[in-house]
Chains A and B, each alone.
Chain A
């Protein structure tokens, strides 16, 4: 009786896994949802916005936006895979911008010192975040909201104290401009290449180096990860430092591009980076996600963000689309995750 049922079920299961060969395998990849989202959004704007959108200028408009968010979104993605959040980036970006402007613009020190100071500052904020989260056990959402406000206040206060103003200009030297503030072919920000470099490094770290495994394990089950001998505290602190560094990098490159720094600004990066990461298929509770997904999520976000200006729609509609996209992405990611877990179960 029982064996009869099994015999009946076996060929059906086999057919299913056989038919799902190439496409099925693709669907089971964690990036499947974000790839579909990306293609859908691109096709939509290519049709609605027309020729301009697919011209080099069109590409440049969203690639420039994607590059800046993308550099932050990558380490934010790592943190989210590890089960943490970092909102402090929203004030680290303007703070590091301002630091470069004050050190190299207002005080006139060499650019390299200003840049080093900016990057060091961001990394330090990340370190403080990491220590606070690890030692106090307070959720990182709360800790980083705290440091975000702290950094924001310090930036404003110190800026007014030192320069007497909330914005400072900077005239970067030729080398710095070439490396960080150049527009290639007059429209593509050099930041795009930095983004690619960040993606390659983070991709190596997460998917190929042995430490990537630790990040997944940390997000999957912190206690098991610690029992398995992973230095979870050091790893968490390191990840917060990397997001602080990346935020500072964006701040530094912004001040070089725009040649001035304001106290405000950068808040939009908080939610934008999280959205890019989630659209890219990273599980909110941690334990799953990929660099390819995060990159595709960032591009998707940037296309909607900029593509809307190429259409005849009201630009505010862009936010509505992004909101809907986010919801859809989470639903879709859940579906694909179930597919990944279920489909493998039937095999063999």
Chain B
């Protein structure tokens, strides 16, 4: 374990005249969760697309296990073990669990001269893989994806990526559309993936979720890494502040103070204190 699984060295990406990523250097180790934080438009999507091979860096290097790699297509990225799970799980609502699990890599058996989709194997493997991640509610591979909850879909997509040998798992806002309980399911699955030695890149808006599972945090602001720190080095307030670029919250604070001055010291609204999950 001398090299990080994935490393970016001074990566820049521009689309025409627009610089989207600026001099990004990041390392991610096996069995580690890297939380990628940042406001909308900070370049998170471009960064993960670059990692996955959708975009090619304009300059800079990408290394896997210490060796430089260049992905021409997303397929090459996924062949190298980089898997991206999108917000809605990237799955097919009207396909069965077994079928969608094996999209593109269908197990087959031979009946006479015909190659036949092996539904039984597909269903059993899919159900087993997702149950190993602790989602025991899924027991029938013929169920349709659309009948699963958002958290179950995410979990299924993560289990799928891990089953097919993902070494780097990129989770693009997996908890954004989920309720509290569903989110904690997904967070638990992130921890399970980490336990298996997978490098997880977890993109989120929710600092609480990031702090619950993250080992390592990187904050992107306008395409550059504004902060890069380990667990416990910064408080929630500091991180939130960083994500919003500092200024936005500072001006909000000023507004609140103005309000309080004109309202006999009453704050506009009581701020509910969020508690860390898990």
Contacts and interface: CB of A to CB of B under 8 A. Distances in A.
B190 to A, nearest CB: 20
> Top 4 nearest A-B pairs by Cβ distance?
A220-B92, A210-B106, A228-B104, A229-B104
Given A204-B114, A209-B115, A348-B137, A217 B108 contact: no
Nearest to A338: B146
B151 to A, nearest CB: 13
B74 interface: yes
B93 A287 contact: yes
B78 A229 contact: yes
B144 A340 contact: yes
Interface residues of B, number: 32
Given A227-B74, A227-B78, A287-B92, A213 B102 contact: yes
Contacts of A209: 114-117
A23 interface: no
Contacts of B100: 217, 220
Contact of A208 (B74, B102, B114, B143): B114
A264 B91 CA distance: 44
A216 B94 CA distance: 8
A222 to B, nearest CB: 10
A229 B92 CA distance: 15
A227 B147 CA distance: 23
Contacts of B148: 345
Given A210-B117, A227-B84, A221 B147 contact: no
A225 B144 contact: no
A229 B139 CA distance: 27
Contact of B147 (A214, A223, A345): A345
B69 interface: no
A131 to B, nearest CB: 20
B70 interface: no
Interface centre among A210, A283, A287, by most chain B C-beta atoms within 10 angstroms, is A210
A347 interface: yes
Interface string B103-136: 1111110000011110000000000000000000
A212 interface: yes
B93 A220 contact: yes
Contacts of B95: 213, 216-217, 220, 287
Contact of A221 (B78, B92, B108): B92
A288 B104 contact: no
Contact of A225 (B84, B103, B108, B115): B103
Contacts of B94: 216, 220, 283, 287-288, 337
B75 interface: yes
Contact of B103 (A204, A213, A337, A340): A213
Q: What's the dominant secondary structure at chain A's contact region?
A: helix
Contacts of A216: 92, 94-95, 99
A341 interface: yes
A335 interface: no
Contacts of B90: 221, 223-224, 227
Contacts of B139: 348
B255 interface: no
Contacts of B117: 208-210, 212-213
B116 A217 contact: no
Interface in A323-348: 337, 340-345, 347-348
B143 A217 contact: no
10 contacts: A214-B103, A220-B93, A221-B92, A226-B74, A229-B75, A229-B104, A287-B94, A288-B94, A344-B147, A347-B143
A230 interface: yes
Given A209-B115, A210-B115, A337-B94, A225 B143 contact: no
Contacts of B78: 227, 229
